[in-house]
Amino acid sequence: NAGVTQTPKFQVLKTGQSMTLQCAQDMNHEYMSWYRQDPGMGLRLIHYSVGAGITDQGEVPNGYNVSRSTTEDFPLRLLSAAPSQTSVYFCASSYFSGSSYNEQFFGPGTRLTVL
Amino acid sequence: GNSVTQMEGPVTLSEEAFLTINCTYTATGYPSLFWYVQYPGEGLQLLLKATKADDKGSNKGFEATYRKETTSFHLEKGSVQVSDSAVYFCALTDNQAGTALIFGKGTTLSVSS
């Protein structure tokens, strides 16, 4: 099992450019999510998905789009990059069993800089 | 809404000292509670979890007890090591609402020999 994989590891964009951060998991987890980590802010939820074809917004969704066409993949799209989107982005997956959500498994992160 | 509050750091300790990192939460429904650890330059790893009141999670010498009456999930370790230096995050999922993890802001622990 590769677990949760993210590409690229590092990315530099210019303001206004668009790009897609890739996330994939091979654990057949229903639940996937995207977070951004900023100094002093902890991790904040951007978007999440409870299964293929179903997505919802988190705490900080503006400027980001997601889709979930397969169980395995959950890409995050930046439509028009802004310096405020400079951050470290983490993808995570999880599964629901019984009456509770289990722990989330995190990818290694993508460090994005927007100039 | 759901939220997690952690004690602010950084926390600086000498090796073999006792560690407590406080965490309190607000949640509707019936949350599961987690502690995650992030070592420098890495992603987050689950340290321990508890899914119902009075459960105790433990791992690598760390412990935390789910206290519903005080809405707390404090992290403790009896004797820290230099290798425990990391950022620790308290988090919850609201099982009834089906949300993703809600994190505290993190507490940086630095242990010196």
Question: Stretch A61-67: mean pLDDT, rounded?
Answer: 96
pLDDT digits (tens, 9 = 90+) for B8-63: 889 999 999 999 999 999 987 778 899 999 998 888 999 999 988 999 999 999 99
Statement: residue A89 has pLDDT above 90: yes
The predicted pLDDT at position A96 comes to 77
Statement: residue B98 has pLDDT above 70: no
Bridge partners of A36, per DSSP, are: A44, A89
Q: Are B43 and A106 an interchain contact pair (Cβ–Cβ within 8 Å)? A: yes
Give residue B96's pLDDT band: very low, low, confident or very high (50, 70, 90): low
Distance of alpha carbon B33 from its chain centroid, rounded? Answer: 8
In this structure, are residues B75 and B19 in contact, taking their beta carbons and an 8 Å threshold?
yes
Closest-CA residue of A relative to B48 is A103
Rounded CA separation B42/B17 (Å):
25
The predicted pLDDT at position A70 comes to 96
The predicted pLDDT at position B43 comes to 87
Rounded CA separation A83/A99 (Å):
41
Q: Nearest Cα to B105, choosing from B4, B27, B2?
A: B4
pLDDT digits (tens, 9 = 90+) for B67-77: 999 999 999 99
pLDDT digits (tens, 9 = 90+) for A30-45: 889 999 999 878 889 8
DSSP letter at B72 equals B
Closest-CA residue of B relative to A48 is B100
Give residue A102's pLDDT band: very low, low, confident or very high (50, 70, 90): confident
DSSP string computed for A5-65? EEE-SEEEE-TT--EEEEEEESS--SEEEEEEEETTTEEEEEEEEEETTEEEE-S--TTEE
Contacts of A50 in chain B (CB under 8 A): 98
Closest-CA residue of B relative to A42 is B105
Which residue among B98, B100, B105 sits closest to A42, beta carbon to beta carbon?
A: B105
Which residue among B49, B100, B106 sits closest to A42, beta carbon to beta carbon?
A: B106
Average pLDDT of chain A, as a whole number: 92
Give residue A77's pLDDT band: very low, low, confident or very high (50, 70, 90): very high
In this structure, are residues A104 and A32 in contact, taking their beta carbons and an 8 Å threshold?
no
CB-based burial of residue A39 (10 Å sphere; 0-12 exposed, 13-18 middle, 19+ buried)? Answer: exposed
The predicted pLDDT at position A15 comes to 97
Interface test with B, best of A103, A104, A111 (most B CBs within 10 A): A103
The predicted pLDDT at position A100 comes to 64
